[in-house]
């Protein structure tokens, strides 16, 4: 094995990826399948976006908008039927599951026809 610098290193292999961490010469290795890597990347991107969204742009009410393309979405109740779960799958195959209280899910469901109508019949702004 080649010398691993302090900190993190990343290597692609024939069947996935290897993430290595070197702290004071002690190397920890984590092997991941491609789908595990995609899920990790999705989680990291979401975490980063959540952190960025906490910061308001100076001088106004404008907040950064972060968009993640979704190729597929599935809804179902959680095990206790207290929330609606939304599993969003990215084109890359990575996914994230969001949990909404029923009040938020109802608000979204009620707004959806109007939003779809606006998309179907856009007006110039």
Read off the pLDDT of residues 67-124 as tens digits, 9 standing for 90 and up.
778 889 999 988 777 899 998 888 877 788 888 999 999 999 999 999 999 998 877 5
Nearest CA to 68 out of 78, 56, 53 is that of 53
The model carries a pTM of: 0.49
Tokens read off for 73: 């979405």
pLDDT tens by residue, 11-50: 889 989 998 888 888 889 999 998 888 888 878 877 777 7
Query: How many whole angstroms separate alpha carbon 58 and alpha carbon 46?
Result: 23
């Amino acid at each position: 094995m080649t010398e691993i610098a302090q900190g993190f290193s990343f290597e692609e292999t024939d069947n996935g990826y290897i993430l290595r961490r070197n702290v004071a010469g002690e190397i920890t290795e984590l092997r991941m399948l491609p789908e595990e890597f995609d899920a990790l990347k999705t989680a990291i991107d979401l975490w980063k976006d959540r952190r960025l969204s906490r910061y308001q742009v100076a001088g106004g009410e404008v907040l950064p908008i972060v968009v993640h393309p979704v190729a597929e979405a599935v809804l179902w109740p959680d095990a206790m039927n207290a929330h609606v779960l939304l599993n969003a799958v990215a084109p890359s195959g990575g996914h994230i599951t969001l949990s909404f209280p029923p009040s938020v899910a109802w608000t979204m469901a009620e707004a959806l026809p109007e939003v779809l109508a606006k998309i179907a019949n856009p007006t110039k702004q």
